[in-house]
Amino acid sequence: MACNEIWVVARIRDGQITQAGLQLVGAARELAKEKGLDARAVLLGCDRAAADDLSGIVDKVLWLNDERLNEYDAAVYAGALLGLMEARGKPVAIFAGTNDMDSEVIPRLAAMCGAAFASSCVKIGWEGDDLAIRRPIYGGKVYEELAILSRPAMVTVRPGAFDGAQKLAAPGSVEEISVEVPASSGVTVVERASSAQGGQDISDARRVVAGGRGVSGELYRMVEALADTLDGAIAASRALVDAGERPHGQQVGKSGKTISPDLYIACGISGAIHHVLGMNTSKVVVAVNSDPDALIFAAADLGMVGDAKEILPALAEAIRARK
């Protein structure tokens, strides 16, 4: 059984649809329209406010209003989505984010329904009636384009690939659906610790200020201050993470996270290829470095040579003045 829909697995954080989630809905609406399909947001868990929020940007919200889905469990989430497919038919495609949760749930679900899966898509379009996606491989040295022939076409999409969905003129509807929910997989959460001071996940932040060796120790405070001014997230190069100064969850690069914010400011980062591969899909990249020959300038749109100690506070001040 199939249905003519594209589903977006919606993620809500702190009561808000994530930036990445807005972009996924934007992508689903655009691609659905081209083929006369319907875009749907799928919401797991009993969050009525989130369901209403989502209905502002998509015609219909498929709401799995079930308290067993309030806490994240990869196996339970994948099982519930499979249940939704059984209840409603297989959609043409399922879009999710490249966040840590969907990176577990979506490939697991793909295997359960015998479908292919593609991660980290930066571009989605149609090749005939199949979804065609573009994604980086070999650490971003080249990109591949794949047509996904199996159904549903299951993809995780990188932030920044699409514009966020605009509000609908008339809000959509919310359809409550009860599906079979499997028992817990037995993975229990013992502790949840905030790993990003300031709480922002670098994968989902629109503005990121990153520090490297040039702003280690006390100097990193200025990175935090600038991020604060921009209402952005803080990140770090491998050098600071390996030195134990910053948590791994903030590392940008091949062995850390790959991010695509609107604005990425690299402070005191040399610009080794491993780092650049983690941020080169950002919209605008600014590099601040004392070494005019630093590699990071080759990966930047805008560069400033000088002492981070002077530039960062001045930059923060200039941004505040503009506000």
Partner 1 sequence: MSLKIAVLVKQVPDHEAIVQIDADGTLDIEDRYVCSFFDEIAVEAALDIRKANADAEILALSVGGKRSVESLRRAMAMGIDQVEQLGDDSMDGADGLAVASLVAARLKTFNPDLVLAGKQAGDDDMGAVGPMVSGLMGMPLVNAATSIDVDADGGKVRMTHSMNAETWTVESGFPIVITAQKGLAEPHVPVVMRVMKAMRAKITNTSIEDLGVPASDSTGRLKRLGYYSPPTRPQVQMVSDVNELVAVLAQRGVI
Taking CB under 8 A as the rule, which mask of x and - marks residues 64-103 in contact with partner 1?
--------x-xx--x--------------------xxx-x
Which tokens belong to 317?
A: 């001040």
24-63 residues in contact with partner 1 (CB under 8 A) are: none
Length, in residues, of the chain: 323
To the nearest whole angstrom, how small is the minimum distance from the Cβ of residue 193 to partner 1? 5
Stretch that binds partner 1, among 159-167, 169-177, 214-222, 313-321 (CB under 8 A): 313-321
Instruction: Between 90 and 207, name the residue whose CB sits nearer to partner 1.
Output: 207
**Under rule CB under 8 A, which residues in 230-249 are in contact with partner 1?**
230, 247-249
Please count the other Cβ atoms lying within 10 Å of the Cβ belonging to residue 295. 17
Question: According to CB under 8 A, which residues from 271 to 300 bind partner 1?
Answer: 274, 280-281, 283-287, 297-300
To partner 1, the closest distance from the beta carbon of 19 in angstroms equals 13
DSSP symbols for 248-263: GGGBBSTTSB----SE
Q: Which of 38, 47 has the CB closer to partner 1?
A: 47
The reply on whether position 139 binds partner 1 by CB under 8 A is yes
Instruction: Supply the DSSP symbol for 14.
Output: T
**Considering only residues 169-188, where is the footprint of partner 1 by CB under 8 A?**
185-188
3-class DSSP state of 73: coil
Q: Write down the least CB distance from residue 33 to partner 1, Å.
A: 22
Select from 3, 60, 87, 150 the one that contacts partner 1 (CB under 8 A): 150
Verify binding: residue 108, partner 1, rule CB under 8 A.
yes
d(CA 7, CA 26) in angstroms, rounded, equals 12
Among 192, 217, 218, 293, the residue binding partner 1 under the rule CB under 8 A is 192
- 15 contacts partner 1 (rule: CB under 8 A): no
Q: At 48, which helix (H) or strand (E)?
A: helix 48-55
Residues 6 or more apart from 19 whose CB is under 8 A from it?
159, 164, 204, 205, 206
- Please calculate the CA angle 136-54-209 and round it to the nearest 5 degrees: 45
| Amino acid, single-letter form, for residue 274 | H
- Smallest CA-to-CA distance from 242 within 203, 274, 282 is with 274
294: left (phi over 0), alpha (psi -120 to 50) or beta: beta
> Whole-number minimum distance, CB 309 to partner 1, in Å?
13
- How far apart are alpha carbons 46 and 51 in whole angstroms? 9
Binding residue for partner 1 (CB under 8 A) from 17, 148, 215, 239? 148
256 binds partner 1 (CB under 8 A): yes
